[in-house]
Amino acid sequence: MAVSKILGFKPKNLKHFETAFTHRSMNIKNSQGHTINYERLEFLGDAMLSAVIANHLYLEVPSGDEGYLTKMRSKVVSREHLNELGRDLGLINLVQSKIPKGQFGDNIHGNLFEALVGAIYLDRDYKYCEKFIYKRVIIPYVDIEKLEGKVISYKSLLIEWCQKEKKTFNYNVYEDTGNDNMRHFSVKLSINNKIVSKARATSKKKAEEKASKRAYFVFQNQISRTLLM
């Protein structure tokens, strides 16, 4: 079975993994009338990932304070990284859904990865869950030095820098559909009343992050001296 190859062991109770790959569009309910889909397992898997990663960082970086460890854990379990993990394992190919797979957003990959971790915990125990996370996440991806320099959110980083340096900032976002059929938004990012970057994307959040990334590279040396050293 495909899931056994991904796990590296044979499941005891296949139902946990069937649930982990059942989308809510299937509208399946159990005998008690409770909806069956991967969302509850996603919640459980998120907690397991956080616990295992937190334990690893705690042991690996004895000098790290609470703030440092929290930031590092966030980088490991970022939505972008979880999506990458789920995509690499091809988890979307196992999904049972009434919605065409091409219509899912990127986050489906990370959601399924978390649900899979939750299913492992229920099917076996914490040790099996920990072993899987070490094999699929920590060993191939968790490099402390690289993580220290990884940026999760350019917007958050830029705002933190502006606040520390007492600089004013403003995201001027407006709808900019233009000739596109899909709705778009444009943003002008100003720092100290001077426009430093512009961007356009299909959502306000994406446009702001894009503009923030461009601004980050404008002030990269200054930001690094203040926040990343």
Amino acid code (one letter) for 153 = S
For residue 87, the number of C-alpha atoms closer than 13 Å in the C-beta half-sphere is 10
Out of 42, 114, 123, 209, which one is annotated catalytic? Answer: 114
Out of 18, 39, 46, 60, which one is annotated catalytic? Answer: 46
84 given a catalytic annotation: no
114 given a catalytic annotation: yes
Residue-by-residue DSSP string for the chain: -HHHHHHTS--S-HHHHHHHTB-GGG-EE-TTS-EESTHHHHHHHHHHHHHHHHHHHHHH-TT--HHHHHHHHHHHT-HHHHHHHHHHTTGGGG-B-SS-GGGS-THHHHHHHHHHHHHHHHHS-HHHHHHHHIIIIIHHH--HHHHHT--S-HHHHHHHHHHHTT--EEEEEEE--TT-SS--EEEEEEETTEEEEEEEESSHHHHHHHHHHHHHHHSHHHHIIIII-
Which one, of 99, 139, 135, lies nearest residue 116 by Cα? 135
Catalytic (active-site) positions: 46, 114
